[in-house]
Chain A
């Protein structure tokens, strides 16, 4: 079975089923915004949502993650890597799935990071394809992430009164197989799916002025562009843009002692290249001074450096950084401001 069909009336039954299989996380409402949360009541799950405040990375690359336990005297370390429970991310947008693929590439690149990979191993991803724009801040088409491009176990597509589910892995198959209300899709349903996809093409258009390869070239030439000075002037350095980015993975390592002052935990905690002390060494020299060069670094880490290293853009087009920026620094505008350089 490659495609299966789920009647919308059975969605909650399926969610109940999934909830019993493993820990289930899905988007739900929060004060007019959306967040991924463990599913308590299946009615709370909200599949029509704009990207959540934080991407689901908080589940496979948590804000604060234990690396190992230690004792100072005598010098002792406990087992280095925790064992994790199986979990399912439900209703993940294609942009966030692209984010997960980026993180996979980083943490698989040698030396591997077993903390990430072990957690990731226990994760099943059930995606949902967007059929309309979340808002004007998304640039998923330019990044090629508005349509499913793998990296999931199951992908749901809304075709009216039912969901077509693309089964993309063995793990995914196990989550639909034997569920009596999920049937193999009929030929007619597959034609409906095609129609939906055709409709979608009319709505989704490239958001950048230039194609991606030109954008890459413009970054190559824009290191000293005035654009960065302007962005730097507006930036407050709050680090929101990096916290909400599905492909930002910088971290700090710190120790936390118990009150006996001998045993403790070494953990890693999200960190941001936008912080004043991020690139400052113990001797005092700051190797990336100024909010302009820090913002530039963030953009280059999406559109240039990872392309050189992994042949992959680390912007997923989710639009979160623009949405969260109090100063209104827009990714689309910034990239487009560089675009004239590309056209030259």
Chain B
């Protein structure tokens, strides 16, 4: 590919921990290979200069202020392709916790008396504000998936996020089921695509990739009951990452 034809890629962070960008920066040799295909023009974590001219925008973080809304709309106008990077951008992520109480109450909890002066709106995934072309789920994002998505966007084809549960990949990896270890794993109702990363490493699934389109909510409740969990506990697990989709959770699991 000719040098001048390389698309320009820029990173933007909103309300997040920048952990997903860090994953990207940690890609190692693959990142160097990627640089044959794209020019990274703005990436605060690995470079000091920053350009305002870009083709592909990677958005990290959820939208939580009026200013965020304006800013992400501007980025959308400029970018040919917009990618939601990580749970916060894709589904709202942990920031969604503030949506569970009124904004005033949330502000008071966090900022005390000064809360009144702070501009804050409900936490939203990027897709609630602007059109998103590609979604990379995960907290943090899973690098092999990031690479797959980048390939797709460079080939001009959509990336289809799996709509089957983490269990599918987990079984292929021949992990011992977390339920057998009395852990309330969210894998059964969580979208796959992470190659059961957490479980492979001895953890359980926290549901960071969001709920399946068609989760078997009733059956899942039975399972959790069978393993001695109360529905309140279960809701806590479900809402760790997915509060901005709260209604769906309430509908499915309450």
Direct touch of chains A and B (CB < 8 A): yes
CB distance from A71 to the nearest CB of B (A): 14
Count of interface residues, chain B, beta-carbon cutoff 8 Å: 36
- Chain A positions within 8 Å of B171 at CB level: 53-54, 238-240, 243-244, 324
Alpha-carbon distance between A291 and B189 when the two chains are bound, in angstroms:
14
Chain A 22-40 interface 0/1 with B at a Cβ cutoff of 8 Å (1 = within): 0000000011110100000
CB distance from A162 to the nearest CB of B (A): 32
A328 within 8 A of B: yes
CB distance from B207 to the nearest CB of A (A): 14
B129 within 8 A of A: no
Chain A 257-270 interface 0/1 with B at a Cβ cutoff of 8 Å (1 = within): 10101000000001
CB distance from A229 to the nearest CB of B (A): 13
B79 within 8 A of A: no
- Chain B positions within 8 Å of A53 at CB level: 171, 174-176
A window 264-322: CB within 8 A of B: 270, 272, 275-277, 291
Contact of A236 among B174, B181, B189, B213 (CB under 8 A): B189
Interface size class of A (residues with CB under 8 A): 20 to 34
- Chain A positions within 8 Å of B222 at CB level: 234, 327
Alpha-carbon distance between A82 and B177 when the two chains are bound, in angstroms:
33
CB distance from B10 to the nearest CB of A (A): 20
- Chain A positions within 8 Å of B198 at CB level: none
CB distance from B176 to the nearest CB of A (A): 4
CB distance from B162 to the nearest CB of A (A): 9
B151 within 8 A of A: yes
Alpha-carbon distance between A260 and B200 when the two chains are bound, in angstroms:
29
B176 touches A276 (CB 8 A): no
Alpha-carbon distance between A257 and B148 when the two chains are bound, in angstroms:
8
B219 touches A234 (CB 8 A): yes
CB distance from A322 to the nearest CB of B (A): 13
Given contacts A243-B171, A261-B151, contact A236 B37 (CB under 8 A): no
- Chain B positions within 8 Å of A54 at CB level: 171-172, 174
Chain B 164-184 interface 0/1 with A at a Cβ cutoff of 8 Å (1 = within): 110110011011110111000
A144 within 8 A of B: no
Which partner residue on chain A sits nearest B155 by CB separation? Answer: A261
Alpha-carbon distance between A58 and B168 when the two chains are bound, in angstroms:
14
B214 within 8 A of A: yes
Which partner residue on chain A sits nearest B163 by CB separation? Answer: A276
Alpha-carbon distance between A243 and B171 when the two chains are bound, in angstroms:
7
CB distance from B134 to the nearest CB of A (A): 16
Alpha-carbon distance between A235 and B33 when the two chains are bound, in angstroms:
43
- Chain B positions within 8 Å of A64 at CB level: 172
- Chain A positions within 8 Å of B219 at CB level: 233-237, 291, 327
Given contacts A236-B188, A261-B37, contact A327 B167 (CB under 8 A): no
Contact of B168 among A235, A259, A261, A272 (CB under 8 A): A272
A328 touches B164 (CB 8 A): no
Most chain A C-beta atoms within 10 Å of own C-beta, residue among B163, B164, B212, B223: B164
Most chain A C-beta atoms within 10 Å of own C-beta, residue among B165, B218, B219: B219
Alpha-carbon distance between A239 and B189 when the two chains are bound, in angstroms:
12
Given contacts A259-B30, A327-B222, contact A236 B216 (CB under 8 A): yes
B154 within 8 A of A: yes
Most chain A C-beta atoms within 10 Å of own C-beta, residue among B30, B151, B163, B226: B151
Given contacts A236-B188, A243-B168, contact A261 B176 (CB under 8 A): no
Alpha-carbon distance between A290 and B226 when the two chains are bound, in angstroms:
23
B65 within 8 A of A: no
A261 touches B216 (CB 8 A): no
CB distance from A259 to the nearest CB of B (A): 5
A259 touches B164 (CB 8 A): no
A238 touches B168 (CB 8 A): yes
Which partner residue on chain B sits nearest A257 by CB separation? Answer: B151
Alpha-carbon distance between A237 and B164 when the two chains are bound, in angstroms:
8
Given contacts A243-B168, A324-B171, A324-B177, contact A237 B216 (CB under 8 A): yes
Alpha-carbon distance between A239 and B168 when the two chains are bound, in angstroms:
6
A326 touches B179 (CB 8 A): yes
CB distance from A311 to the nearest CB of B (A): 30
A63 within 8 A of B: yes
Chain B 135-150 interface 0/1 with A at a Cβ cutoff of 8 Å (1 = within): 0000000000001000
Alpha-carbon distance between A235 and B223 when the two chains are bound, in angstroms:
10
B window 200-242: CB within 8 A of A: 212-214, 216, 218-220, 222-223, 226
B46 within 8 A of A: no
Q: Which 4 pairs from chain A and chain B are nearest by CB?
A: A238-B167, A243-B171, A236-B216, A63-B172
A-B contact pairs, 17 of them (CB 8 A): A31-B176, A53-B174, A54-B171, A234-B222, A236-B219, A236-B223, A238-B168, A243-B168, A243-B171, A259-B36, A259-B147, A275-B164, A275-B168, A276-B214, A291-B219, A327-B219, A327-B223
In addition to A31-B181, A276-B164, 14 A-B residue pairs with Cβ atoms within 8 Å of each other are A35-B174, A53-B176, A54-B172, A54-B174, A238-B167, A238-B171, A239-B165, A240-B167, A244-B171, A259-B34, A261-B151, A275-B168, A276-B163, A327-B219
